[in-house]
Amino acid sequence: MNPFKNRALLFCSLLIYTLSLTAALLYFRFPAEEVKLFFQTKMEQLLPRTQCSVAKMSYRFPLSVTINEMDFKSRQGKKESLCTIDQVTISPQLSSLTSHFHVDINAWDGEHSFSLVLQQAEKKFTMEDIQLHGLDLAKVPFLQQTFGREITGSLSGNGTYHGGWNKKGSPAEGKGNIVIDTGSFSLLLPIFSLEKIDLKKLTAEVVLQKNRLQFDKGSFHGQELKGEFSGNLGLQSPLKRSGFSFKGALEPLPPLLKKSKYAQDMVIQLKKQHARATLPFLLQGSVESPKFKFDS
């Protein structure tokens, strides 16, 4: 029996042959430098205020490309490093080789992934099913440089993101959920005599729309404080000039009350003023100049 009388089997055989031939050609004649330059250019088009450099690109069977040590620097000011990604593997979907990709990332001690959909004609892209696992915030220099304080913790989350690279500019949009475990952040101004807040866990829903990040259903539980919050951050360039407004409520926990007479007195006074167990607060200003006060 001739197996190629069966059209389905013939199609599968031709597909496998084509993929095998393509893989062989890529393996033996992979134009790494040309592809690397193309990739760097595309990334800079997607992120116009950054400069992208790649240490090495290599082919991975059957149709994937692996990128090692991808570094992003700011094109403005001192051109400081924004972040460095250890490894990225890009794998196209067989049904849409030039528009649908799966991306795996090893960076900042975590493993992350998303599906990338390119709309070349409209010059738009979508990042679907974004998954972040174990991202070490202390290893992202951009955060420390922007906020001017120590920030630590393990970040996980999921979501979607839409953007573009046309000349008119496509407004970026996205949404997702974030979780920070076992972290801390230093305070520019003491709260209850605390110089920093230690976190056991922080969660929030995040929406990006019209250059504004909206945080809803935020809550955190720390060693000495717990609370809830909501608010927004208006994104500007540079980010340290971005304005924000958050409100919420704090509750000092026994370890803080036990060691701080100041905290005890503040809690008694504020509870008398607001007649509630939690202490409402407002956090406003800009990233480089925040202002905190207890208020409803």
Mean pLDDT of 258-285: 81
**Per DSSP, which regions of 108-192 are E strands?**
110-119, 124-136, 151-164, 173-191
pLDDT of residue 63: 77
**The pLDDT of residue 293 is above 70:** yes
> What pLDDT digit, counting tens, does each position of 135-192 carry?
999 998 878 878 888 899 999 999 999 887 665 656 789 999 999 999 998 887 788 8
Query: Of residues 124 and 248, which shows the higher confidence score?
Result: 248
pLDDT of residue 166: 66
pLDDT of residue 30: 62
pLDDT of residue 28: 53
Q: Which of 66, 57, 58, 61 is nearest to 22 (CA)?
A: 61
pLDDT of residue 98: 74
Mean pLDDT of the chain: 82
> Which has the minimum average pLDDT: 17-26, 221-230, 242-251?
17-26
pLDDT of residue 69: 92
Within a 13 Å sphere around the CA of 292, how many CA atoms are in the beta-carbon half? 13
pLDDT of residue 181: 95
Which residues have a Cβ under 8 Å from the Cβ of 132 and sit 6 or more positions away? 110, 112, 155, 156, 157, 158, 178
pLDDT of residue 152: 94
pLDDT of residue 130: 95
**The pLDDT of residue 4 is above 60:** no
pLDDT of residue 2: 43
> Which has the minimum average pLDDT: 34-38, 55-59, 211-215, 219-223?
34-38
pLDDT of residue 3: 43
Whether residue 219 contacts residue 227, with contact meaning beta carbons closer than 8 Å, is answered with yes
> What pLDDT digit, counting tens, does each position of 41-93 carry?
877 876 777 888 989 888 777 778 888 998 888 877 667 777 888 998 988 88
CB neighbours of residue 80 within 10 Å: 11
Sign of the four-CA dihedral 220, 222, 227, 231: negative
Helical H segments across 78-224, by residue range: 141-147
> What pLDDT digit, counting tens, does each position of 91-128 carry?
888 777 778 889 999 999 999 999 988 887 877 889 99
